[in-house]
Structure 1
Amino acid sequence: MASDERVCVLEQTPNVEAIITALLDESTPQTEFVQFSRRVIRLVIEAGINFLDMEDHTVETPSGHPFQGLKLVQEPCGISIMRAGEAMEQGLRDSLQSINMGHMLIQRDRENPSSDPQIYFHHLPANIDKKPILLLDPIIDSGATIINALRILVKEGAEDKRIIILSVFASDAGIDRVLGSFPNVRIALARKMDNCQAVRFSKRYFGT
């Protein structure tokens, strides 16, 4: 866990370091880039799930003995920011198989690339005002895209304290901007780095 309890960065184990190295290597083939991405995405998702509320839960083991453990208080919904966020959807479904998904399309004006991104489309799961939300976007660079997504979610009734952002790479500036605008959200990510867009995540993951 990072020093800010709202931000969880994966422990930089040798395994995580090796995956990150492969993702940043421009010579990594597209098929391998996808495989490495899926591995680290799954780790980020599991880290993000740790932010969700749990409650005590006792079960009976196959040998007939009780086990006192935990279970989710409430299953969240997932929302991916297209199209990069779609790369994280399968990993989320692998972890939470019955999760309901929504989507947002947020893009910059190609004729004015320095402007903040605008929302062109959103389809959200029902009752987002009553559920925790896992917001998927592999890259947090300036933070503008995530902030626009959060504005829509809050406008539609979501509580920012129940929103968890799942990402792969994020810059300190982007994280600070997001938390400065929405101080109650939580963020789970694989690695902090400057100039996250240099990874070209979407182009390399989808091969286009």
Structure 2
Amino acid sequence: MVDYSLPSQCQLLEQNSQLKALMTIIRAKDTSRADFIFYADRIIRLLVEEGLNHLPVVDKTVKTPTGADYNGIDFKGRICGVSIMRAGEAMEQGLRDCCRSVRIGKILIQRDEETHQPKLYYAKLPKDIESRYVLLLDPMLATGGSAMQAVQVLLDNNVREDRIIFLNLISAPEGIDAFVKRYPQIKIITGEIDGGLDDNKYIVPGVGDFGCRYFGTD
């Protein structure tokens, strides 16, 4: 991990040997697409599981087959996922694996390669999204521009800022700082933090174009 003071709104996954080995595989340029997908999916599952840990809960007592009571908990409120297309769509199955029949919205934001500024092209969200907790999905947090515009779309659809949790695999300090400054109530959960951005605003050392590597396009 780089020498970076992590904002309180941002949480790293536990930096253990398993995660480091998975990250090493997906970062290698000679990793096959099949392996990239398999090991990226494992990291995504870890992110989703951690994201669910940050949802509010209420007490719930159930009866076990022995006839005894078990004092447990249940999630408070309903959730949905929102993927920032196209790379964010790679994270949808990981969410479905953890949350059966979860509703998933989509936002398409693309970066102008000359200005590096994000532009909104498409948004389709669950009609009742304002009543749900939202897991925002995007593998990479570089400048933060696309993520911040996606959040603005959610806010415009009456989603409360404190009900959004942003999940990503790899992030740059510049993106984290910009994001938390603009949206201080949103929790970010990330797998690793890289050194920074290059002149083209890509994360270094990064993973390359995550969407292209995952979906097999150039």
Q: What TM-score comes out, normalization by structure 2 length?
A: 0.89
Are the equivalent residues in 1 in contact too, given 2:118–2:149 (CA < 8 A)?
Answer: yes
* Aligned residue type for 1:38: D
DSSP-derived class of the 1:76 partner = strand
State the 4+ residue runs in structure 1 displaced beyond 6 angstroms. Answer: none
Distance 1:83 1:118 in 2: 14
Partner of 1:171: 172
The count of aligned residue pairs is 205
The alpha carbon displacement at 1:73 in A equals: 0.5
DSSP-derived class of the 2:106 partner = strand
Alignment CA distance shift 1:4-1:62 (3 Å): farther
The alpha carbon displacement at 1:3 in A equals: 5.6
Partner of 1:77: 80
Distance 1:56 1:98 in 2: 23
1:101-116 equivalences in 2 (<5 Å)? 101-110=104-113, 113-116=114-117
Are the equivalent residues in 2 in contact too, given 1:75–1:99 (CA < 8 A)?
Answer: no
User: Does 1:52 pair with 2:61?
Assistant: no
DSSP-derived class of the 2:148 partner = helix
Paired-residue identity, %: 37
Deviations 1:85-120 (A, max 9, x none): 10000000111112111101100235xx32311000
Distance 2:173 2:65 in 1: 47
* Aligned residue type for 1:168: L
1:18-97 equivalences in 2 (<5 Å)? 18-97=21-100
Deviations 1:144-172 (A, max 9, x none): 00011011111111111111101111111
Are the equivalent residues in 1 in contact too, given 2:81–2:102 (CA < 8 A)?
Answer: yes
Are the equivalent residues in 2 in contact too, given 1:135–1:164 (CA < 8 A)?
Answer: yes
The alpha carbon displacement at 1:84 in A equals: 0.3
Are the equivalent residues in 1 in contact too, given 2:45–2:94 (CA < 8 A)?
Answer: yes
Distance 1:173 1:3 in 2: 11
The Cα RMSD (Å) is: 1.5
The alpha carbon displacement at 1:67 in A equals: 1.4
Partner of 1:206: 215
Structure 1 stretches lacking a partner, 5+ long: none
Q: What TM-score comes out, normalization by structure 1 length?
A: 0.94
The structure where strand makes up a greater share of residues is: 2
The alpha carbon displacement at 1:174 in A equals: 0.5
DSSP-derived class of the 1:57 partner = strand
Distance 2:68 2:127 in 1: 39
Are the equivalent residues in 1 in contact too, given 2:166–2:189 (CA < 8 A)?
Answer: yes
Are the equivalent residues in 1 in contact too, given 2:78–2:131 (CA < 8 A)?
Answer: no
Distance 2:174 2:54 in 1: 22
DSSP-derived class of the 1:167 partner = strand
* Aligned residue type for 2:154: L
Partner of 2:158: 157
The alpha carbon displacement at 1:22 in A equals: 0.5
